[in-house]
Amino acid sequence: MSSQITLNVDAILFDMDGTLVDSTAGVEGAWHLFRESYPTIDVHDILSSSHGVRTVDNLRNHCGIQDPEILQKEAERFEKAILTTSSEGGRPGIVLLPGVHSIMDELAPARFLPKPRWTICTSATQDYASAALSRANIPIPDVFVCSEHVSKGKPFPDPYLLGAEKAGVKPENCVVFEDAPNGVRSGVAAGCKVIALLTTHSREQLEAAKPDYIVKDLSSVSVRCTETGVVLTLKTE
């Protein structure tokens, strides 16, 4: 049963993949490409469990790469492969998810320090995330936390703690938008309110991570900037 919820927060901390943009086609293409170098990997299994996790952590866990230098080079190769394969063979490319355009119309002017109203905290590298956002015509906010900016990625709280810190706000006065259970756990651990999106995972998977609210996608959310923060209205699922 759906209901309408209104929240007043100092800032919004967005995940990127699966929240603002859909890069599924490129991620699938990249893993199939990497299977040529790592033939023992199970692409189907990886795709069901790797979302929301840093590329370096996925490559370490699934491909067995331990050497830090090799790991970094392979992570860069993987994320370049996402971009190059996302539009191959009739794939749709990196696309904007529902509701994002109207939200960005309101939030884009409020992305600047010293008092940004929103950030992006992603498990992707800065090079890849910047390119993906550019393709989707999403402006890059001044507070932009990427995989190389933290020593421990999601589900640890570090990305969202850093995002709140850089935005000059307390985590408990922020709301996190996430599509992946690991990302939900990261936001919860950081002490933020967490809104989960049903864009990439099932309700059961998201509920297990204990978000505060669940919505279909960002088309179920409206935002309005104020002098002190952001007012959000949610249509929960």
159 and 230 housed in the same domain: yes
> Which one from 17, 57, 158, 217 is the annotated catalytic residue?
17
**Cα–Cα distance for residue pair 11/185, rounded to 1 Å:** 19
- pLDDT, block means (10 residues), the chain with 237 residues: 90 97 88 93 86 86 93 91 82 89 97 98 93 94 96 96 98 97 97 97 96 98 96 94
Q: What is the CATH number of the domain that holds 176?
A: 3.40.50.1000
Going by DSSP bridges, is the β-strand pair 213-215/221-225 parallel, antiparallel, or unpaired?
unpaired
DSSP letter string, 93-160: -SEEPTTHHHHHHHHGGG--TTS-SEEEE-SS-HHHHHHHHHHTT-PPPS-EE-GGG-SS-TTSSHHH
98 and 213 housed in the same domain: yes
Overall pTM > 0.85 = yes
Parent domain of 196: 3-22+94-236
Contact 232, 222 (CB under 8 A): yes
Contact 86, 94 (CB under 8 A): yes
Q: What is the CATH number of the domain that holds 52?
A: 1.10.150
- Decide which of 41, 68, 86 is a domain's last residue: 86
167 and 225 housed in the same domain: yes
> Which one from 15, 158, 179, 217 is the annotated catalytic residue?
15
- Decide which of 86, 115, 134 is a domain's last residue: 86
Catalytic status, residue 22: no
Contact 78, 59 (CB under 8 A): yes
18 and 28 housed in the same domain: no
Tally of domains in the chain: 2
Which letter does DSSP use for residue 211 in this model? -
Catalytic status, residue 17: yes
58 and 139 housed in the same domain: no
pLDDT given for residue 1 in this prediction: 66
